[in-house]
A and B are shown apart, each in its own frame.
Chain A
Amino acid sequence: MVGEGNVRSHPAELISFGRDATPLHEGSADVVALPGSTAEVAAVVQVANRRGLALIPRGAGTNLAAATVPIGGGIVMSLTRMDQVLEVNRGEMLAVVQPGVTTAELGRAADRVGLFYPPDPGSRETCTIGGNIATNAGGLRGLKYGVTRDYVLGLELVLASGETIRTGGRLIKDVAGYDLTRLIVGSEGTLGVVTEATLALRPRPEASTTGVAYFAELAHAAAAVDAILAFGVLPATLEFLDDVCIGVVEDYAGLGLRRDAGALLLFGDDGTEASARLCVEQMAEICRAGGALEITTASQIAEAEDLLAARRCTLPALARVAPITILEDVAVPRPRLVEMVEAVAEITEKLGLACGTFGHAGDGNLHPTLLLERDDKRARQAAEQAVARIFAKAIELGGTISGEHGIGLTKKPYLVDQLGADHLALLQRVKTAFDPAGILNPAKLGS
């Protein structure tokens, strides 16, 4: 079906496919298939459908909500071998790619013809477009450029029953039928298997500029973000890190960041040389007025890239502090960011937990990361309580339990708190319409 060399069934070969990048969650695959084409994907899905076997699609396994963990066994289908950029069209400003293309590779393919693919999740060098679509991945440019959903024009999809359909296409305007493309984006592999995607690209900005402001406290940085947005600019980058995160990023990247500051705000913009510079100067001025301890700006693209690259490494760099890193992903309306930041600090402090917080301040998306020792049972329990309280606070502030990482297994018990029972029941009916036998990524969204 997929060729003998592309099936794994020896128990030791399956170990890595039982998990993704989520700590403390592990399932076990019964068999792994690495198909090389849509036809092969369809053939595998048909077998799963006939025999009623669970089928868990998977990209590069960088998920942080255990969305690809095969909790009840079954066939894990890795789409990493389908890694071809099929087309980059400058005139139509779009790309057609297979699901196993990495986000960074698509970015480079677009760059070669003077275009640009904006979504850039932290794991962009590793993670795949298929996974980005399944989780509606965001990244560092969400505020100005939106997230994966804003770039998906069309999909090729293998249904649970084994048929292959297409949704959307190359058109900007197309209202024929329900917008299934948007439904599939963020469906975490529970409604079908994406085998090809048509993605919108943008003209590559001429220049980009980045600045760094240090603050005494994370809440001060959050307040500066509030002031920046109220001023009426829409920058490409507004990222913040607390002192714990600054330390580990500096340990790894050695960029000369100030370790004695309580928080760092990375701000930047792209566009024309003049517009980017003006925006950054305005933001620097607002930070200064907001009590920044120090401000530096990087005018060279290479320097700006170094800063962003270092920022993308924050989560794994936190492993330098502790072996278990429980990363959360709440997002709140931007004017409530300060409250959320303060709540996280209060909750973790009360429970005696070490925590490093970073996030996409500009879009209200916060990544508080609880840092646990391997065998500390008390901390494990405290972390569960902290997560529940952080979620409750986010919902209370009109926010969400997940901005961009997805629901997976880890947040599924909390989904009802945000959506309510009626909404959840509708999700289940949608799931049933697509996948009546419940074979696709079972125990996750919609089940």
Chain B
Amino acid sequence: MTTPPFPAELLDACISCGYCLPACPTYQLTKDEASSPRGRINLMKAINLRRIEIDNPVAKEQASFCLGCRACEPVCPAGVQYGSLLEQWRSHAWQGGGPTVFALTTAVRWPVLLRTAGAITRPAKHRAESEYQYLLGCFERLLYAKLSKAMTDVFPQLDINPNQGCCGALHAHNGHPETGARLAHELGDRLDGTIVTTAGGCAAHLAEILGRDRVRELSEWIIDDGALGLDTLRPIEIDGRPARISIQDSCHLRNGLGVSAQIRTIVQRLGDLVELPSAGVCCGAAGTYSILRKQDANAVFRSRLDEIAQLQPDYVAVVNPGCYRQVATQLRRSRHAPRVVHLVELIAAALHT
């Protein structure tokens, strides 16, 4: 008899109270118990008890349908480690795949592939001897070089190691936790000191593998560690009034690392904070989810279209490059399209005005 795939103590922590249901975006979409964290844990329990097979099609579909946003964790009074259970589940039963994701997760393991593809326009250089090492996230390198530029403009104290690799977060989310952990350790060895990142997803994964004290996400680095004085920022104005700025939280940053207030403190300094009721709900990017399950990702985002139309912010600030892509794509079709920017781009603009 082989050992059950899930550690009993992690599953035992769930007493099925159902407090997670309202926090779960896929439960909100379907109102079907089976698409809730409690429902998914019931499936894991059934797998452990051998009532269903690990490759049961319903279970596999649920492992894939889950965004992995971990919104269920902060609302769980019992402290169930759902994110960890999900990674283990996916490692046994579901590896998010398809040619695009394969190309992506392969490419990010070898930075040289990204470079030959021309994705990194300007290879990074060592800048300063510093205890703060800037993590050039893979999404950022592929799609948002302007974000790295804003970071290096605002924070001259950051050192950049050109030979970084990938943190492995995407691998962990997509059913390869061992690869994910190995890549994180390798990256941690190359970037000694404190790793500073603009990517909430990378931050949470690295913090889990390398330890919380090795990692600082941009907003906590600014607020908690004082990396930038808020008094150096001047409010951004549009037509003579303060800019209206909304936020899209990064799930793993908010739910995994508990960082959300810091972003708001900064935004309040930059303009008028226009809080979207769904700011803390997954935008649907969710690692590679928006590539693998486009329709579901669209549905998850939908609540924000009405909110944005009603509240009419000038900017939606994101704190994770994956969210950047998803929010920008979703808002392209919207009539009242605010500009989608990363928080650091707003900070750079506020320094220059």
Contact = CB atoms under 8 A, between A and B. Distances in A.
Interface stretch (B75-83, B192-200, B201-209, B330-338): B75-83
Interface string A201-240: 0000000000000000000000000000000000000000
Contacts of A320: 13, 78-79
A81 interface: yes
Considering the complex of A and B, which 9 residue pairs feature the smallest CB-CB distances, nearest first? A12-B58, A319-B78, A323-B12, A313-B77, A316-B77, A80-B31, A317-B77, A316-B17, A16-B39
Interface string B6-33: 0010001111111101100000000111
Contact of B18 (A21, A81, A104, A317): A21
A80 B18 CA distance: 13
6 contacts: A16-B36, A126-B19, A319-B17, A319-B78, A323-B12, A324-B15
Interface residues of A, number: 42
B33 A61 contact: yes
Contact of B32 (A8, A15, A62, A313): A8
Contacts of B12: 323, 374
Interface string A323-346: 111000000000000000000000
B31 A78 contact: yes
Interface residues of B, number: 32
B19 A313 contact: yes
A21 B32 CA distance: 16
Interface string B39-70: 10011001000011000111100000000000
B38 interface: yes
B227 to A, nearest CB: 26
Interface string A291-322: 00000000000000000000001111101100
B34 interface: yes
Contact of B46 (A12, A20, A125, A325): A12
A21 B59 contact: no
Contacts of A83: 31
Interface of B: 8, 12-19, 21-22, 31-34, 36, 38-39, 42-43, 46, 51-52, 56-59, 75-79
Nearest to A6: B32
A19 B16 CA distance: 9
Contacts of B17: 21, 62, 123, 126, 315-316, 319
A41 to B, nearest CB: 15
Contacts of B76: 316
A102 B77 CA distance: 19
Contact of A15 (B19, B21, B22, B46): B46
Nearest to A249: B77
B15 A319 contact: yes
Contact of B34 (A16, A123, A374): A16
A61 B31 CA distance: 12
A363 B79 CA distance: 30
Nearest to A11: B52
Given A12-B43, A12-B59, A20-B16, 15 more contacts: A8-B34, A12-B46, A15-B34, A15-B43, A15-B46, A62-B18, A78-B32, A125-B19, A248-B77, A249-B77, A252-B77, A316-B19, A319-B13, A319-B14, A319-B17
A81 B46 contact: no
Interface of A: 8, 10-13, 15-17, 19-21, 23, 34, 60-62, 78, 80-81, 83, 100, 102, 104, 123, 125-127, 248-249, 251-252, 313-317, 319-320, 323-325, 374
A315 B51 CA distance: 28
Nearest to B21: A126
Contacts of A13: 34, 58
A106 to B, nearest CB: 13
Contacts of B32: 8, 34, 78, 80
Contacts of B8: 374
Given A17-B33, A126-B18, A323-B12, A316 B78 contact: yes
A61 B27 CA distance: 13
Contact of B42 (A19, A248, A325): A19
B19 A123 contact: yes
A12 B38 contact: no
A227 B58 CA distance: 57
Given A12-B59, A13-B34, A316-B77, A123 B18 contact: yes
Contacts of B56: 12
A83 B22 CA distance: 12
Nearest to B42: A16
Contacts of A325: 15
Contacts of A252: 77, 79
A81 B39 CA distance: 16
A13 B40 CA distance: 10
Contacts of A248: 77
B78 A61 contact: no
A111 to B, nearest CB: 14
Contacts of B46: 12, 15
A313 B19 CA distance: 9
Contacts of A123: 17-19
Contacts of A315: 17, 77
Contacts of A249: 77
A19 B32 CA distance: 14
Nearest to B20: A126
A252 B57 CA distance: 35
A100 B77 contact: no
A16 B78 CA distance: 19
B62 to A, nearest CB: 8
Contacts of B31: 34, 78, 80-81, 83, 100
A283 B8 CA distance: 46
A205 B31 CA distance: 32
B34 A102 contact: no
A18 B12 CA distance: 18
B58 A317 contact: no
Residue from A12, A34, A60, A78 whose CB has the most chain B CB atoms within 10 Å: A12
A400 B42 CA distance: 33
A438 to B, nearest CB: 25
A25 B80 CA distance: 21
A301 B38 CA distance: 31
Contacts of B19: 123, 125-126, 313, 316
